[in-house]
Structure 1
Amino acid sequence: MKVHETEWSRHFKALFQARLGDMQEMLLEEFFYDGTHLKVEIGVIQDSIIGRNSPYLFQVALEHNGRPLISVHLEDFEELERNRGLVEFLETVDGTRMPLGQAYKFNKIEVAPGLETNEIKAVAQALTLLIHDLGELIFGEEVEMARQPLALQETWKHVYGPDSGKVVDFNGIKYIRFDDARGWHSF
């Protein structure tokens, strides 16, 4: 059994479920969506390679009756030394180097087929607000975000602020970055 599958995931599952409960009024008012049936599931895919207190790879999902409505696979990007060049590149804003803090790369985002636009927006808003507090930067390959429904893309930009969703190019790969709206990279 993975170490973080019990300790870390239990802690964040309880925390996220409580936060999800606090979002119910907002989901109903903004999206006319009753989210009282939603459950948070967190799966540890791989423990930390370098002994961190959080896993290296994990998934956060919102489910209804065991059916995932939306999920995101995240990678603690600073775990691997091979990522150092991209981390240093992402730390540079307008030519000034600022440490990222905690950075996560989304490797895959999945939205259940058949959801209506308001449902996508509601579950995307809820999930994005939950993962927002994990790190100062969430980023991923632009092609992964581009394959998502427009409702999800718009929701991420709404949550992270009007200046979020910047596309950056590193070694021929385009990444889209969502900086914490309260973090130093947002200024």
Structure 2
Amino acid sequence: MQRRIVTLTGRPGVGKTTVAVAAAKILRSKGLVVDGFYSREVREGVVRRGFELVDFTTGAREILADIVGQGPRIGKYHVNIKGIEEFVPRIVERALAEAQVLLCDEIGPMELLSPSFRRSVSRILDSSARAIVVVHRSMEDPLMKSFVRHPEGVLVEVTENNRDGLADEVARMLYGNTP
């Protein structure tokens, strides 16, 4: 059964972003316009320094959180609210206007500190866009729950046991075997 929104969740480090980005690349390879953003770790050697947001279309990057800096803290990281607010809304607006599939990785505690992030990402729910969304596993925030419970969506938990073939399955959930 095709879905409009595939929401991925799972424990930290299990491969949610890897699955989401791989599914987006599969859909892009089928000729679909895919746009959005994803997050990734920033490491200095073996030490995780923080996280950055990456524009799926242009490759542009913005610091999401870092162990040094200013901004609200979550754990040992300072969240770059200004960077989130300047980066994500622009990408989401562009994707909603131009893309057939929107990639949104991740809706989590750091990102949700930004009011502009919340407003932009919530527009996905009211649009007709198909989307691959990654939510933090706690899912206690009302916006996260809106994606998880969306009537045109499905929640998929990424695990070590299912992650290897999951990107193809996510692509099929959104568009079947052909766009």
TM-score (norm 2): 0.31
**Higher relative contact order at CA 8 Å, sep ≥6: structure 1 or structure 2?**
2
Structure possessing the higher radius of gyration over alpha carbons: 1
